[in-house]
Amino acid sequence: MDYQLIRSKRKTLAIEITRDARLVVRAPLRCSQARIEQFLQEKQAWIALHLQKMQQRRENHPEPTPEEEACLRKKARDLLPGLMARYAAQMNVYPTGITITGARTRFGSCSPKNRLSFSFRLMDYPMEAIEYVVVHELAHILHKNHSAAFYAEIEKILPDWRERNKLLKQ
């Protein structure tokens, strides 16, 4: 099994599947190679499943060309402010602004000052998923965590939020 090994001052072994479908193993400085190999054997099914999922995600959502990125950014600038305003009114929340980013690891975020950021990459997903991310980030204005109350807030607006969230994982 091909992997990148990173040793550091940590206490546990960990596995990471990178965005480009590479396997990274993080290990304590004094961990033996035999223990690392044993750990990889124990996690073989998990590794295979997640490598397959990441490969599928890469096929479904390849890295955009500069022209495609420009189109996705324009779509985000045209679509997201209106969606944000509509759902903010329903939720009675007041975001302080919106930013379109190139984030690769998250579709949206909410700053402590209630400024919402959305990745242009979100525009590559169905409208149901886009709406879910908008409502999710607006809910962070009320709840700065992922508590039961946070998800209850989302459910008031999008009772089918679980199905919408699954669209982001495809």
Which ranges of 2-43 would DSSP assign to H, the alpha helix? 33-42
Please tell me the predicted confidence (pLDDT) of residue 4. Answer: 95
Domains of the chain: 4-60 (no CATH), 66-167 (3.30.2010.10)
pLDDT digits (tens, 9 = 90+) for 66-109: 999 999 999 999 999 999 999 999 999 999 999 999 998 899 99
pLDDT digits (tens, 9 = 90+) for 118-142: 999 999 999 999 999 999 999 999 9
Distance CA 88, CA 74 (A): 22
- Taking residues 146-159, report their average pLDDT: 96
Distance CA 146, CA 26 (A): 27
Which pTM does this prediction carry? 0.78
- Burial grade of 4 (CB within 10 A; 0-12, 13-18, 19 or more): exposed
Provide the angle, in degrees to the nearest 10, between the axes of the packed helices 127-142 and 148-157: 130
